[in-house]
Chain A
Amino acid sequence: MFDFTDPVLLARAQFAFTMAFHIVFPAFSIGLASYLAVLEGLWLATKREVYLDLFKYWLKIFAVAFAMGVVSGVTMSYQFGTNWSVFSDKAGPIVGPLMAYEVLSAFFLEAGFLGVMLFGMRKVGPALHYLATLLVALGTLFSAFWILSVNSWMQTPAGFAVNAAGQFVPTDWWAIVFSPSFPYRLVHMVLAAYLTTALVVGGVAAWHLLRARRDTLGFGMEGARVMFSMAMGMVLVTAPLQIAAGDMHGLNTLEHQPAKVMAMEGHFQSHPDGAPLLLFGLPDQEAATVRYKLEIPKLSSLILKHDLNAPLAGLDTIRRQDWPSVPIVFWSFRIMVGLGFLMLGLGAVSLVARLKRRLYEWRPLHLYALVMGPAGFIAVLAGWVTTEVGRQPFTVYGQLRTVESVSPLAAPAVGSSLAAFAVIYLLVFAAGAFYILRLMSEPPKHGESGPAADEPTRTAGIAPGPAQSPLTLTAGE
């Protein structure tokens, strides 16, 4: 099935592998940065110690996640050149500047405020420290803005011309940065990051609530209770918003990338009077049919066109060489949507428990929340697979084919690097996940220590850290 002698497939596998590892960390740190800003803000407003404890608890986890996002991100910035050099030459005049802005804003954030946020509480005072926390949260959103602008332009290219050398050249930067799918994608991704973080926070809180014995409940578990309540409230609000945003994003995709939606829906054939919604099935790309399908008549037309009998075109209207991989897109989409509805359910169940004043006691809810802890990551990955595989067989949709984008490298070169990435990443990220889980396995305590108190400065960006206090000035002479 997987052809190890095909350099294009190997290059795609390598990009997908390294990106899959990278994407979960930004998704987590975007949400966590905002959560930290909320916690610190609540602490400043109410002076309740528990918010400060929670802030310091999650700050330690943020430091590790951020570091892993940084190291895996350096790799991404070079892979466009190493493995997609023809794409880099042709799309560079447009994609390059957007990526450069991403680097500049991320650099600005790292160099400027992350260190203050991580280690500077006692050095700069609460107001300035809060400003740093807010700016870090804002910075992660800036990064997301630019990188999603790149991604959206590749999905729905606009504002460009093609020059004699075959390069895409900018004609309208506003149209490039705000390409047709960009607003929808940005909202969908940022909500995904918030939802992912809320689920992680909720899962960790649920774990500690489940482990707490009845007699200790209410004592020493204040942190877990507060964060459980916050997380469930966030899921309650964000999950329906996300489903609505996803629906709008889908309608936008139908307008600009119909083949992707056809693959998501499993519509190989056109339906002139009302298309069914396929719940399950096994798409067969060769035979252009979905086997063992379970469908609800006309529902797809209702969702996509808001009309039961609206005609919907199928992949039979698209040239076969322009089809994405239907089985992958079909299934990744169902995984994402299925998880989305489970998240909606979690929010609803938590609301019932809250109204019955059983939020901290009802164990089935805690089990539900615990199981859903990693669901955001899986949904993010599934959604990313849906949109990127759905863009195939193009890198710049409708303009530049993937097979024409790849570097002139032989299969053994790409195969070796892919193997090396697999070994190193599995070691490094398994260790990182282990250290993060170990931090999470401790409940948040009263008088929680920050990252600085018990260990020397590490990944901190450029910033004053306590381990670095100079002995004396004369010693430096």
Chain B
Amino acid sequence: MSGLPPFDIPTIWAFVIAFAVFAYVVLDGFDLGIGLLFQFFPERRDRDVMMNSVAPVWDGNETWLVLGGGGLFAAFPLAYAIIMPAIYAPVIAMLLGLVLRGVAFEFRWRTERGRGLWENAFIGGSFVATFSQGLALGALLQGVVVSGRAYGGGWWDWATPFTLLTGCAVTAGYALLGATWLVLKTTGDLQNHAYRVARPLVFATVGAIVLVSLATPFLEADYWRRWFEWPGVALTAPVPIAVAATAIVLLRSLESRHDWRPFVMTLSLFFLCFVGLGVSIFPNVVPSRVSIWAAAAPESSQIFVLVGASVLIPIILAYTAHAYWVFRGKIDPDAGYH
């Protein structure tokens, strides 16, 4: 790589989509994490509080996934056309998992007899959706077979030890997001339990980050170049140190029973990983295969949507920020049962 790429409309779109994906990962990450942790909190009352802590926001959180996918389709249709068949099984599994857990929010309150069924749907759906997202990430990182303008591999290509590892990594990470979210939003026994659950999840998450980072440069010569040659190395060199520092602060904040710092530190961990992924991928959109310029829709298409997006996305962000501000503070365990 020599110098920086030109800052043009495809680049703007790459950042818009990267932003949508990151927003999705951290936002739906913590509410999927709640689903992952549900089984460790068998008490009815705890589960009510846990679900209430994400009930008003999960729907909006999930819409970032649609925005990311829709943005990819609109701005980089070739990439959308190659990626989706390449990760067919994980995407379908993720969608079905999201359907199950999504309706569980609604149905769990509507039935006494069927409560157990929908709680299991919530747990199972959250796990399948999370693990599938990890598989999809790994499948893209390890490289997909492209022939002409289409995916050229089989429908099980995504299943490798590496993708299994990324699946576990994302699951650990989302569970940690969920646990630290609970620390932030709850009190009493529930919060104590969340502190206890969070600690081993820190080790699992950081361990998974280390393993994925060690494996990634060996997947493609391209990654090796990006990580260890200029200018990538300027970004990759400080990342391990930053990850270690963040993990230490995170562990200490859990020990000192800090309220919001564990969640913020977990978000920082995710951000660091995202930067690492960005260094590995950008300016490609199908990693190591297709660049954002090769995949870009005509400028007229990209501008047509960018006009609407640049008006609506800031409004959506402002409203989302406002909603989170309104819901700041602890969940009242008695709310909703008057």
**A and B: interacting chains:** yes
Q: Is B99 touching A456 in the complex (CB atoms < 8 A)? A: no
Q: Is A435 touching B66 in the complex (CB atoms < 8 A)? A: no
A211 vs chain B, min Cβ distance (A): 22
Interface string of B299-323 (1 = CB under 8 A from A): 0110011001100110110011001
Count of residues in A whose CB is under 8 Å from the partner chain: 86
A49 to B14, CA, bound (A): 53
Cβ-neighbour of B57 out of A95, A425, A462 (below 8 A): A462
For B312, list chain A residues within 8 Å (CB).
104-105, 107-108
Q: Is the CB of A311 closer than 8 A to any CB of chain B?
A: no
Q: Is the CB of B59 closer than 8 A to any CB of chain A?
A: yes
Q: Is the CB of A125 closer than 8 A to any CB of chain B?
A: no
A104 to B75, CA, bound (A): 14
A424 to B329, CA, bound (A): 36
Q: Which residue of B lies closest to A72 (CB)?
A: B99
A73 to B96, CA, bound (A): 12
A71 to B100, CA, bound (A): 9
A293 vs chain B, min Cβ distance (A): 43
Given A408-B152, A431-B103, A456-B335, check contact A93 B301 (CB 8 Å): yes
Cβ-neighbour of A462 out of B56, B92, B98, B107 (below 8 A): B56
For A68, list chain B residues within 8 Å (CB).
103, 106
Q: Is B56 touching A104 in the complex (CB atoms < 8 A)? A: no
Q: Is B305 touching A459 in the complex (CB atoms < 8 A)? A: no
Interface string of A406-431 (1 = CB under 8 A from B): 01111011001100110011001001
Cβ-neighbour of B309 out of A99, A104, A110 (below 8 A): A104
Chain A 53-107 residues near chain B, CB threshold 8 A? 63-64, 67-68, 70-75, 77-78, 80-83, 85-86, 88-89, 91-97, 99-107
Q: Is B82 touching A412 in the complex (CB atoms < 8 A)? A: no
B72 vs chain A, min Cβ distance (A): 8
Q: Is B60 touching A462 in the complex (CB atoms < 8 A)? A: yes
Q: Is A476 touching B259 in the complex (CB atoms < 8 A)? A: yes
Q: Is the CB of A309 closer than 8 A to any CB of chain B?
A: no
Stretch at the interface among B83-91, B233-241, B273-281: B83-91
Q: Is the CB of B114 closer than 8 A to any CB of chain A?
A: yes
A294 to B98, CA, bound (A): 49
A456 to B96, CA, bound (A): 25
Interface string of A447-474 (1 = CB under 8 A from B): 0000000011111111111111111110
A358 to B190, CA, bound (A): 60
Stretch at the interface among A165-173, A216-224, A247-255: A165-173
A409 to B67, CA, bound (A): 25
Given A110-B59, A111-B320, A463-B56, check contact A100 B106 (CB 8 Å): no
B109 vs chain A, min Cβ distance (A): 5
B71 vs chain A, min Cβ distance (A): 6
Q: Which residue of A lies closest to B84 (CB)?
A: A81
Cβ-neighbour of A428 out of B48, B56, B89, B100 (below 8 A): B100
Cβ-neighbour of B329 out of A74, A108, A465, A473 (below 8 A): A473
Q: Taking chain B's interface residues, is the majority helix, strand, or loop, or is none over half, making it mixed? A: helix
Q: Is B88 touching A467 in the complex (CB atoms < 8 A)? A: no
Q: Is B329 touching A476 in the complex (CB atoms < 8 A)? A: yes
For A89, list chain B residues within 8 Å (CB).
77-78, 80-81, 149-150
Given A81-B73, A108-B316, A424-B99, check contact A432 B107 (CB 8 Å): yes
A212 vs chain B, min Cβ distance (A): 26
B76 vs chain A, min Cβ distance (A): 8
Q: Is the CB of A477 closer than 8 A to any CB of chain B?
A: yes
A440 vs chain B, min Cβ distance (A): 13
Q: Is A470 touching B329 in the complex (CB atoms < 8 A)? A: yes
Q: Is the CB of B4 closer than 8 A to any CB of chain A?
A: no
For B105, list chain A residues within 8 Å (CB).
67, 458-459
Q: Is the CB of B298 closer than 8 A to any CB of chain A?
A: yes
Q: Is the CB of B63 closer than 8 A to any CB of chain A?
A: yes
Q: Which residue of B lies closest to A417 (CB)?
A: B92
Q: Is the CB of B164 closer than 8 A to any CB of chain A?
A: no
For A431, list chain B residues within 8 Å (CB).
103, 107, 114
Given contacts A107-B312, A111-B63, A462-B59, 11 further A-B contacts (CB under 8 A): A71-B102, A81-B84, A82-B84, A92-B81, A100-B71, A104-B67, A107-B66, A108-B315, A112-B319, A468-B56, A469-B335
Can you list 27 A-B contacts (CB < 8 A)?
Answer: A64-B106, A74-B65, A74-B99, A82-B88, A89-B81, A89-B149, A92-B297, A96-B74, A97-B304, A101-B305, A111-B60, A410-B155, A417-B88, A421-B96, A428-B99, A428-B100, A428-B103, A432-B103, A455-B109, A456-B51, A456-B335, A457-B56, A459-B55, A465-B55, A471-B331, A476-B184, A476-B328
Measured CB to CB, the residues of B under 8 A from A are: 48, 51-52, 55-57, 59-60, 62-63, 65-67, 69-75, 77-78, 80-85, 88-89, 91-93, 95-96, 98-100, 102-103, 105-111, 114, 149-152, 154-155, 184, 187, 259-260, 297-298, 300-301, 304-305, 308-309, 312-313, 315-316, 319-320, 323, 326-332, 335-337
6 nearest CB pairs, A to B:
A92-B77, A81-B84, A470-B329, A456-B336, A96-B74, A89-B81
